[in-house]
Amino acid sequence: MIDAASAGARFAALADRSMAEGEQRTVALLTNSIPRADTADVTISREAGGELITVTIDHQLPVFGFMTGPVPLSTTAQAYDLTP
């Protein structure tokens, strides 16, 4: 999840890409790497005067070993948008 969030933030920060494309990239990476990725909540936003792009993923992964119920996880990644 951390890699998907950081890759999505960096992708959205590229000069010829948009925030929507960064979100799509994040969802595509999640779909290929973790179970039930379609239930993940992916949010992307611009902060700090428009220079910082933040991608946040909230997801509940299935049961691990002896633990019961889904395990809630959240990760956030940021990338600087230095395009003029």
Task: State residue 70's pLDDT score.
Answer: 80
Q: What is the pLDDT of residues 1-51, one digit of tens each?
A: 999 999 999 999 998 999 999 999 999 999 998 877 888 899 999 987 878
Q: What is the pLDDT of residues 53-68, one digit of tens each?
A: 999 999 987 776 666 6
pTM comes to: 0.85
Contact 18, 12 (CB under 8 A): yes
pLDDT at 79 over 90: yes
How far does the chain reach from its first CA to its final CA, in angstroms? 30
Contact 8, 55 (CB under 8 A): yes
Residue extents of the structural domains in the chain: 2-80
Mean pLDDT of 62-80: 82
